[in-house]
């Protein structure tokens, strides 16, 4: 399979040059690669999306899935995992949908820790509906719905995720396809709920928050919670100066939804091939514990 085998005949209606195209291409690449590597079967892969420009990705991917209502991609995905724990599921959402309408689902998803991936296309704007502010829009952002400017500080979703018990948090850049693909793969391979925040420009709305590439720097995969808190604090979605850390910000292995529920656990395939990998992961965990003690 090559990435284009995951294409559909639907007309692409994103603006010319929209970074969503790069997210789509990266998804096709990683998913087709992983199907070729027999990590999972094409039929076992499913996505959920909701409402917003980002979610048009649903129409451009030839994979199973449900295009949900605004903010509801996560409960739909988790429901799918309860229905069939063997599915590989990715939810693609925008910052407006997940951090506003779907915030309760976002916080609880970390607690449930279903083995799936959440990808947030964060352009700090409700673009499809002409640029109203979202929870991550910077203070002072002028829009048609808030012409006096946003009075509030933006939320920091990474800190929220950490506080909610996330087992995998990563941040990547829509313009850096290589990094994005690397992060996607790590996220999909993570056993548990993996959360990927993509910093993305919108070419039409909230352009003042665009072009942060120069401030971004790549970090090594981090497994320390304390360090993760510091990393998450470095960028608050508001300041026009300062560094923006990119990469795997936190990773820990904790029991997944599918492992915690006996009804789901017994449906999981018992694969012995992964045993060597599991062992190596265990070593990593013990190292982590040691580093914590230090």
Beta carbons of 191 and 115 less than 8 angstroms apart: yes
Asked if 164 is part of the footprint of another protein (rule: CB under 8 A), the reply reads no
Cα-trace Rg, the chain: 19
Task: Determine if 159 is a binding residue for another protein (CB under 8 A).
Answer: no
Span interacting with another protein, options 36-44, 146-154, 155-163, 178-186, rule CB under 8 A: 36-44
Q: Which of 128, 181, 261, 288 binds another protein (CB under 8 A)?
A: 261
Among the listed residues 99, 135, 101, the one whose alpha carbon sits nearest the alpha carbon of residue 118: 99
**Residue 269 binds another protein, judged by CB under 8 A:** no
The distance of closest approach from Cβ of residue 106 to another protein in the complex, given in angstroms and rounded to an integer, is 10
User: Could you tell me if 249 and 234 are in contact, meaning their C-beta atoms sit under 8 angstroms apart?
Assistant: no
Enumerate residues 9-28 that contact another protein by CB under 8 A.
Answer: 9-10
Q: Does 160 sit near another protein (CB under 8 A)? A: no
What is the closest distance, in whole angstroms, from the C-beta atom of residue 157 to another protein in the complex? 17
Q: How many residues bind another protein (CB under 8 A)?
A: 43
Tell whether residue 259 is a contact of another protein (CB under 8 A).
no
Among 1, 2, 5, 8, which residue sits at the site for another protein (rule: CB under 8 A)?
8
Q: Closest distance between another protein and the C-beta of residue 17, in Å?
A: 21
SS3 of 173, please?
strand
Q: Per-residue x/- mask for another protein, residues 108 to 127, rule CB under 8 A? A: x-------------------
Q: Judged by CB, which is closer to another protein: 19, or 75? A: 75
**Nearest-angstrom CA–CA distance, 17 and 19:** 6
With beta carbons less than 8 A apart as the criterion, state whether 86 and 269 touch.
Answer: yes
Angle (CA) 115 117 121, round 5°: 165
74 vs 80: CA distance, rounded Å: 10
Q: What is the DSSP code (8-state) at residue 98?
A: I
How far apart CA 36 and CA 40 sit, in angstroms, is: 8
The yes or no reply on residue 219 touching another protein (CB under 8 A) is no
Smallest gap from Cβ 215 to another protein, in A, equals 35
Asked if 69 contacts 48 with a C-beta cutoff of 8 angstroms, the reply is no
Among 105, 171, 191, 251, binds another protein (CB under 8 A): 105
The span from the CA of 103 to the CA of 109, in Å, is 10
Determine the Cα angle at 62 with ends 56 and 64, to 5°.
90
Q: Segment contacting another protein (CB under 8 A): 51-59, 140-148, 156-164, 231-239? A: 51-59
Q: Give the C-alpha separation, 79 to 198, whole Å.
A: 24
Angle, vertex CA 95, rays to CA 26 and CA 97, nearest 5: 110
In this structure, the chain runs to a length of: 294
Q: Residue from 18, 31, 35, 76 that binds another protein (CB under 8 A)?
A: 76
Residue 52 is a binding residue for another protein (CB under 8 A): no
List 18, 23, 30, 78, residue binding another protein (CB under 8 A): 78
- Binding residues (CB under 8 A) for another protein: these are 8-10, 42-46, 48, 50-51, 56, 58-59, 62-69, 72, 75-84, 86-87, 104-105, 107-108, 261-264
């Amino acid at each position: 399979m090559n990435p284009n085998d995951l294409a559909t005949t639907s007309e692409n209606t994103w603006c010319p040059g929209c970074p969503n195209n790069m997210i789509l291409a990266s998804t096709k690449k990683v998913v087709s690669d992983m199907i070729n590597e027999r990590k999972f079967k094409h039929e076992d892969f499913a996505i959920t999306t909701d409402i917003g420009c980002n979610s048009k990705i649903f129409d451009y991917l030839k994979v199973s899935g449900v295009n949900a209502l605004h903010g509801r991609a996560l409960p739909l995905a988790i429901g799918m995992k309860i229905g069939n724990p063997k599915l590989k599921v990715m939810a693609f959402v925008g910052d407006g949908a997940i951090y506003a309408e779907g915030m309760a689902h976002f916080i609880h998803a970390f607690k449930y820790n279903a083995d799936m991936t959440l990808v947030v296309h964060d352009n700090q704007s409700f673009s499809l509906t002409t640029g109203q502010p979202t929870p991550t829009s910077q203070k002072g952002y002028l829009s048609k719905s808030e012409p006096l400017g946003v009075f509030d500080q933006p939320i920091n979703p990474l800190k929220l995720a950490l506080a909610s018990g996330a087992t995998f948090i990563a941040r990547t850049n829509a313009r850096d396809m290589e990094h994005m693909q690397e992060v996607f793969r790590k996220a999909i391979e993570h056993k548990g709920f993996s959360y990927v925040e993509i910093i993305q420009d919108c070419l039409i709305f909230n352009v003042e928050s665009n072009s942060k590439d120069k401030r971004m720097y790549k970090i090594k995969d981090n497994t320390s919670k304390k360090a993760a808190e510091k990393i998450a604090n470095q960028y608050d979605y508001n300041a026009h100066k300062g560094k923006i850390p990119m990469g795997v910000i936190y990773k820990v292995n904790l029991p997944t939804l599918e492992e915690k529920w006996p009804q789901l656990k017994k449906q999981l395939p018992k694969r012995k091939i992964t045993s060597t990998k599991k062992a190596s992961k265990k070593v990593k965990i013990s190292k982590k514990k040691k580093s914590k003690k230090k």
